Amino acid sequence: MQPSLITLSCAFVGLAVLVCYICLYRVYFHAFAHIPGPLLAKLTNAYSAYHAAKRDTHVVIQRLHEKYGPVVRYGPDRILFNSADSLAEIYGNRNNLFKGRAYDAMRVQPLPSVFNAASNELHSKRRKIISQGFSEQAMRASEPKILKHVANYCNVLFGPVEDQGWSKARETTQWSAFFAIDLIADLTVGRSTAMLTSPENRVYNPARKANFARMGLAIQWPEAFLSGFFKNLKLGELLFPKIAELGKQWHYLLSSWIAARLDELKSEEKTATEEDMIVAIARYRDPDTGQGLSDGDLTAEMTTLLIAGSGTITTGMTSLLWYLSRWPDSYQKAVQEVRSIFKTPQSIGMNSKLSTCSYLKACMQEAMRVSPAPTTPLYREAGPGGAVVCGIHVPEGYEVATTIYALHHNESHHPDSFKFDPERWLQNKEDIRATKAAWAPFSVGDRNCVGMTLAMNEVLIAMATILWYGDFKIADDLALAGIGAGSQLLGPGRQRVKEFQLYDTFGASTEGPYLQFKRREIP
Ligand code: HEM
């Protein structure tokens, strides 16, 4: 039987009343009604998903804080804070805030990992296990692999030369991404992805990028990617079909690498000779139960490491390359330091000499401040009874975050915040402490980055090796030189020419810088 016109009209009016009710409630009666923010953000998370799709989340949030102040409503049930205090309160260890549905929505693997585990209990169990892969012994074991992939990276960058010893312009985002994935695949599952050296393996790159884009959308609009009413409609996947499909393909590919390594381990003698992270992690046994991780849990954990340790390193490398190529004084000081500390390239490694490269380290910290890898707000959800952040009550189930990019450009913490100024990290101890309190590229607290030491070593070793072998400069070709730069044409918040532009895909994606490299004459 056809529904009558009256039935349809009633249904339409009913729906309109419901929508009006929800809108009025969210704007005037909601627990966050008193928090300022854009009207659309108060009504729906589709507002922040729109900005995730435009990849300008961090730029928009930084501007919203400038407009509305330190607390901004960025979704119906979400507020953002912007201070060192809020960073400590939200991500500090003793709060009632957890990774919740936003992290569930990002998950593709059937089982949770250390990254998206909601409960403290599961997280601390997993963190203990994963830390086996980052122990001092594991770090020492990783050094030869780091050096091998850094050598491949340098060979490509300094590669065939064209004019007066200078290479042609290299798009460093792409090469740094290949370096990062080759290295992390080798460190985690002993796999040679050879993206730096074998063009045929680069076909995976679009799937890798799509996975990050999917994560960026899902964290902003969890209800479109989670089970329930919307999942039946597959709204997230309907709106972004290519990203959703390619993103899943990346997971299938990583799972197949992990499965292959697990099969190898089972067929090897009990003591596997190759010390990749999966060996250290699979070997772990719970002291109480004697149990290790199941294959499914191992797959979830190793997938997390493969994803977490690739895009972030790419941004770490490219932003450092960008700022050193744009700030000649800093570049010269870093070159001088590296070439005076390391007499030979063989002496570069995870050693005491590396830790004396204080200027290079300051450059890295400063690049990670101005253009940090995490561009999305890392939401935390209030548990039963709610939480209090900077004096504001957050009811159970509602979410809060301090956006790292906005914090790094909060002028009260980092004056002249868009200036690349490594000297900030070389002042007296008191000032450095204040700078550091509002610096969080690796987040803080018990869910901070487990790979932080490894990541900093990778970036420092790679950059020290590049600077040891030769020089780099901005591409001569003006059409390429500007790629990655800010410009008035890119719109508000992206106008600063010397700021390396980030594009939010959960973590940052980047384009450029295009640089030319030249080996130096070794004295
Ligand atoms: C420059 C490089 C890196 C940056 C900037 C970075 C940044 C971060 C940040 C901000 C978080 C917190 C995420 C959240 O709260 O949702 C995080 C977590 C994590 N990172 Fe990194 N990361 C880097 C490199 C790495 C590497 C090389 C690995 C491993 C190979 C790694 C593994 C992880 C894992 C497993 C977590 C989850 C930790 C937990 O929840 O206990 N990261 N990272």
User: pLDDT by residue (tens digit) across 392-415?
Assistant: 999 999 999 999 999 999 999 999
Gyration radius of the chain's alpha carbons:
24
Would you say the CB of residue 378 lies under 6 angstroms from ligand 1?
yes
Q: How confident is the model at residue 84, as a pLDDT?
A: 98
Question: Cα of 374 to ligand 1 centre, how many Å?
Answer: 9
Give the DSSP H or E segment for 20.
helix 5-24
Q: Is ipTM beyond 0.90?
A: yes
Would you say the CB of residue 312 lies under 6 angstroms from ligand 1?
yes
Q: Which is the closest atom of ligand 1 to the Cα of 126?
A: 41
pTM score, two decimals?
0.95
| Neighbouring-strand partners of residue 163 | 166
Tens of pLDDT along 188-238? Answer: 999 889 999 998 888 888 999 999 999 999 999 999 988 776 666 778 888
Q: How confident is the model at residue 13, as a pLDDT?
A: 87
Question: Cα of 243 to ligand 1 centre, how many Å?
Answer: 23
Orientation angle between helical segments 172-189 and 241-267, nearest 10 degrees: 40
Q: How confident is the model at residue 274, as a pLDDT?
A: 62
Question: Cα of 472 to ligand 1 centre, how many Å?
Answer: 29
Question: Cα of 184 to ligand 1 centre, how many Å?
Answer: 13
- Distance, in Å, from the CA atom of 236 to the CA atom of 227, rounded to the nearest integer, reads 11
Tens of pLDDT along 93-122? Answer: 778 999 999 999 999 888 999 999 999 899
Average pLDDT for 6-23: 88
Q: Which two tokens stand for residue 408?
A: 């790094």
Q: How confident is the model at residue 231, as a pLDDT?
A: 62
- Is 357 annotated to bind a ligand? Reply is no
Give the DSSP H or E segment for 436.
helix 429-437
**Per DSSP, which regions of 16-168 are E strands?**
71-75, 78-81, 97-98, 161-163, 166-167
Would you say the CB of residue 468 lies under 6 angstroms from ligand 1?
no
| Neighbouring-strand partners of residue 80 | 72, 401
Q: How confident is the model at residue 130, as a pLDDT?
A: 95
Three-class secondary structure assignment of 355-401 = HCCHHHHHHHHHHHHHCCCECCCCCEEECCCCEEECCEEECCCCEEE
Q: Which is the closest atom of ligand 1 to the Cα of 456?
A: 1
The amino acid occupying position 77 is D
- Distance, in Å, from the CA atom of 69 to the CA atom of 89, rounded to the nearest integer, reads 18
The amino acid occupying position 171 is E
**Is residue 489 within 8 Å of 366, Cβ to Cβ?**
no
